[in-house]
Structure 1
Amino acid sequence: MGERTTPSGLVLVETLINTIDLEAGRDALAAPDGLDAFARDASVALAPDDVPTVTRLREALRAACAAHTGRAMPARTAAELADLFADAPLVLRVDGATGAARLHPAAGLSGARALTACVAAAVAAAEADGTWQRLKACEAESCRWAYYDHSPAGRRRWCSMQLCGARSKMRAYRAKRRTP
């Protein structure tokens, strides 16, 4: 069986969320060439002064993906994500040959606003095709890695059953054994 991948429209969102490795304490956006590498992969020009906005976007998206596993998204974070998206307008373009319609970043956006508009377009398309709810953040507090849930029921809770899932189940087992 082949390796399952994230749908192409959500790769940007997943990649952005995963620019920080909480377990290792490494933030690719803060690394010397990390912002440039991410910007190249995202096909958006970003400058060092965009980092605070991109970081806020990343963490708000992580909270939204955690909500996909049943964890409540704080109202403040939902409002912040709404504000970020409001500052990154989209336009609807219709293909003349096929009639297909897609959202695109509005003309003239640059930096973090352009990235946010690309993310907003990806989220809107994923919501429309039913894939947005399956992009999740690992339930393990020390991980919080973004992953795409390919399980039939869509109930996966950890990025990896072999790592975070096994650790969680082992902690629960040990706690149960200690309780008389």
Structure 2
Amino acid sequence: MSERSPAPGGLALIEALLNTLDIASRADELERPDVRARFGIGEDELPAARELRESLRATLLAHAGHPPHAEVTPLGVLLARVPLVVEVAPADGSARLAPAEGGTLPARVAAAVAEALVAGTWTRFKACASDTCHWAYYDRSPAGRGRWCSMQVCGARAKMRRYRAAHRPVVQNATDAGSAD
């Protein structure tokens, strides 16, 4: 779980949604009515919100170089269902995609993705490479090649596992040890 600062712009909404599930403990904050209210979803919308959350997670894992998840509905399929409108500011003529009437969670997510695409921040938005974490984070590393939500926690654990595997003593097979030539 990350100690990083929140993702920029509308990605903060997506980051907050993804991080409602603690994969290690399987604790799902969307079970709580106050958390669902924060995202503007009712209990009847919970299955769709979870589907959206896992589709987003699969996409962010792909940003981090993981293979696609075949069992997850592709994000593009879910977002194609939501209506967005082009809002044009009369003062300066600037434009942006915004959720159509109602501003459902999927529409707000689609608008945030569109905003991130325009800003060039979408592909830096990733999920932690740790199989027991997959926490969403915004990669602020200079090269954009970060792999873990926290170098101090998930990164350190991964490096320690690699180190131990590389320095594990080689144990001879009992049959090999007794058959000296």
Tell me if TM exceeds 0.5: yes
State, as a whole percentage, how many aligned pairs show the same letter. Answer: 50
1:116-131 equivalences in 2 (<5 Å) = 116-131=106-121
For residues 153 and 80 of structure 1, the distance between their equivalents in structure 2, rounded to whole angstroms, comes to 27
The equivalent residue for 2:130 is: 140
Unaligned runs of 5+ in 1: 40-44
1:54 correspondence with 2:49: yes
What does 1:5-84 align with in structure 2 at a 5 Å threshold?
5-36=6-37, 38-39=38-39, 45-74=40-69, 77=72, 80-84=74-78
1:152 aligned residue: 142
Per the TM alignment, residue 80 of structure 1 is displaced from its structure 2 partner at its CA by 3.5
Partner residue in 1 for 2:176: none
Change (3 A) 1:103 1:150: same
- TM-score after normalising by structure 1: 0.86
Q: What SS class does the counterpart of residue 33 from structure 1 fall into? A: helix
Contact 1:60-1:80 at 8 Å conserved across structures: yes
Report the TM-score, using the length of structure 2 for normalisation. 0.85
Residues 89-124 of structure 1, C-alpha deviations (whole Å, 9 max, x = no match): 1111111111000101122x46xxx11011001101
**Stretches of structure 2 lacking an aligned partner (at least 5 in a row):** 171-181
Distance 2:145 2:83 in 1: 33
Deviates more, 1:26-35 or 1:119-128: 26-35
Distance 1:123 1:117 in 2: 10
In structure 1, the residue matched to 2:173 is: none
**How many residues align structurally?**
167
Q: Higher helix fraction: Structure 1 or Structure 2?
A: 1
Shift of 1:31: 2.9
Please report how far the alpha carbon of residue 23 of structure 1 lies from its aligned counterpart in structure 2 after TM superposition.
Answer: 1.9
